[in-house]
Amino acid sequence: MEISSDQAGPLNGGTMRTAGGLVLFGDDVQSFEAADAKDPKPLRHFNPGQDVSPSPMNDAIYGKPDVAIAAGSDIFSFALPLTFDNSNQEE
């Protein structure tokens, strides 16, 4: 499967696709992005204020999925939904 997303410059890190249908990646403006795997429209973003160069990492704690990113000298961890429903998102 191939999807594309407009970026001002090159992606610095890798991407990760979750079983719940999210594509996660660090973009070219120091943000961490979540996009729908079926439609590359961005769903969520987080700006750690530093480059997100390494690929995202995922795990499950007590059966609940989470993802971690390294940005500069910091580590950020986020809980993920088991599935993502984009039907109620504003345009």
User: pLDDT digit string (tens) for 21-51?
Assistant: 888 888 778 888 888 888 777 888 888 988 8
Cut 0.75: pTM above it: no
Q: What is the distance between the alpha carbons of residues 74 and 60, in angstroms, rounded to a whole number?
A: 20
- What is the residue whose two structure tokens read 């939904």? 81
For 70: left if phi > 0, alpha if psi spans -120 to 50, otherwise beta; the answer is beta
Each domain of the chain, given as residue ranges in start order, spans 15-79
The angle formed by the CA atoms of residues 38, 43 and 45, to the nearest 5 degrees, is 135
Q: What is the pLDDT of residues 52-71, one digit of tens each?
A: 878 888 888 788 888 899 98
Give the DSSP H or E segment for 76: strand 74-79
